[in-house]
Structure 1
């Protein structure tokens, strides 16, 4: 009896191998050529994407402060650019300011986006049909058109060169995020809302206890997209923030290469690599929610 069970398990383990063998043998020559061509194309694309990043890595270890190198490996690699970047502590100040602004804006904007999306998805009010479409049309205009208005208003209120002012300006909710989250909330069964109404729940309670917990994956996606956008934003930060201790990463890194007689390309490359570390950590922690939110938001339930 033991021998029969062992032989049965051995035959069971050999079935996938035999199936793969038959599948491999059944491929036509033309299909094999297409498969290898697709693999070569994919690898070429990967190399093309990673090659510029590799040149940034080389520039960060190049003590000659040259940004363009014709060698794939640095000849005189050193940590001089990283040491120069850390001297004075300005880089850590930029990182701290970017983290503070990014986390505060991402959290606040995600919550404002959730309230707006809930209103357009679950409530019925006058102007609901064309309200979100109007927001999307307004979003098409470039943000640079609003810089003069924001700067004039902040100057009259004596709020120039303040991190709080920059956070206040960046709190404007993205119409695209509202549209994305509204589509996700539309997939939440309306029977849950109806059951909450029968139990006596108010609109706020329906939002906090029913819809918002079920929208966590998409909320994480919006939080991450907002955080990435704040880390890479320069236009408003360069206009509002004027003191070195208030610089974010975008403004501080631009000042490294904006000198008339000296452009610190090596330090810029080192800062570019180090600035990606916080985002990589956030992505690694929230990867499960990001994948679930993006997949769920790609279809309409």
Structure 2
């Protein structure tokens, strides 16, 4: 065998071993979801369930109290879609303003926006909670959804950098054809912004779907709980935790995440690294 072939074999063996190592927790989670609750930790080193059971999925899908797990999934989908819509609208408009419009203090406002990325979320938690409490927004999706319609600094920065790669000659040509500022945004910038918007959508979906702290702070009624809160309900410090049901519903909650990743994974790299136009 040639040396280059040996190097390829060694490389693929190493990468495959690393992939198995990184994916082992996922394999363990899936295998544990088919074990009896008493056997999950007793046979933690064995990935083959003995006996093989679907009881955990049946118990988990029944949920807790008067609400089934399907209620929590629907709540989470509504929450994610509203936040996603808010990020796409607000971040694209704000990014277009920073990248294309000239106004007094643009650089200063952009720097201030970037500086907010350095603020720990814990610093903002108490002031935001007080504001939402005074607005009587507690135990609703408003505290979780409304801020999304005022932009997110990370996504704004991402979209600004993408828009700056789009030649301004396209804007000038549109102006000659009679387009106003909003027309330039909708007819020129927005169509070319699709890869970056797809990246924004994917990250928003991931972060919102797995968000636990926000729903715990603002949602008090079990009928409004999200998936992350519902999974936490299977654990108890006072009684026996239903680990089997929690693992089973964890697998169910991962299905939308995997579907979104495999369908749109190419947009993640393309939206971050690509230019506005390709020759």
With structure 1 as the length reference, what TM-score do the two structures score?
0.83
- Is 225-234 or 253-262 further displaced after alignment? 253-262
Q: Secondary structure at the match of 1:72?
A: coil
Q: Contact conserved, 2:86 with 2:151, CA < 8 A, in 1? A: no
Aligned to 1:245: 223
How has the CA–CA distance of structure 1 residues 197 and 66 changed in structure 2, closer, same or farther, with 3 Å as cutoff?
Answer: farther
User: Partner of 1:212 in structure 2?
Assistant: 190
Match of 1:41 in 2: 14
- Cα distance in 1 for residues equivalent to 2:38 and 2:128: 37
What do you get for the CA RMSD once the two structures are aligned? 2.4
Instruction: Measure, in 1, the Cα distance between the counterparts of 2:59 and 2:211.
Output: 24
The 5 Å alignment of 1:227-242 reads 227-242=205-220
Specify the structure having the higher radius of gyration (Cα).
1
Residues 138-175 of structure 1, C-alpha deviation per residue, up to 9 Å, x if partnerless? 11122122221122122222221112332124545221
Q: Contact (CA 8 Å) 1:185, 1:215: kept in 2 or not?
A: yes
Alpha-carbon displacement from aligned partner over 1:230-261 (angstroms, at most 9, x marks no partner):
00111111000011110111111122224432
Count the aligned residue pairs: 274
Q: Quick check: 1:260 aligned with 2:238?
A: yes
1:74 equivalenced with 2:52 (yes/no): no
**Are the aligned partners of 1:180 and 1:297 in contact in 2 as well (CA < 8 Å)?**
no
Q: Which residue of 2 aligns with 1:144?
A: 122
Seen in structure 2, the aligned counterparts of structure 1 residues 282 and 245 have a Cα distance that, compared at 3 Å, is same
CA distance in 2, matches of 1:67, 1:174: 41
Show the counterpart of 1:90. 68
For 1:229 and 1:276, the matched residues in 2 are separated by: 13
Aligned: 1:293 with 2:271: yes
Unaligned runs of 5+ in 1: 1-24
1:61-86 CA distance string (max 9 Å, x none) = 11125554111211111011100011
* Uncovered stretches (5+) of structure 2, i.e. residues with no partner: none
CA separation in 2, counterparts of 1:134 and 1:183?
16
| 1:103 paired residue among 76, 81, 105 | 81
Tell me by how many angstroms 1:295 deviates. 4.2
SS of the residue 1:197 aligns to? helix
**Structure 2 CA distance for partners of 1:187 and 1:44, relative to 1, 3 Å:** same
**Aligned-partner SS, 2:271:** helix
User: Which deviations, in whole Å up to 9, do the C-alpha atoms of 1:86-145 show, x marking residues without a partner?
Assistant: 115431111111100101111111111101111111111222223323222211122122
Equivalent residue number for residue 187 of structure 1: 165
Tell me the CA shift for residue 292 of structure 1.
3.7
Residue 58 (structure 1) aligned to one of 31, 38, 49: 31
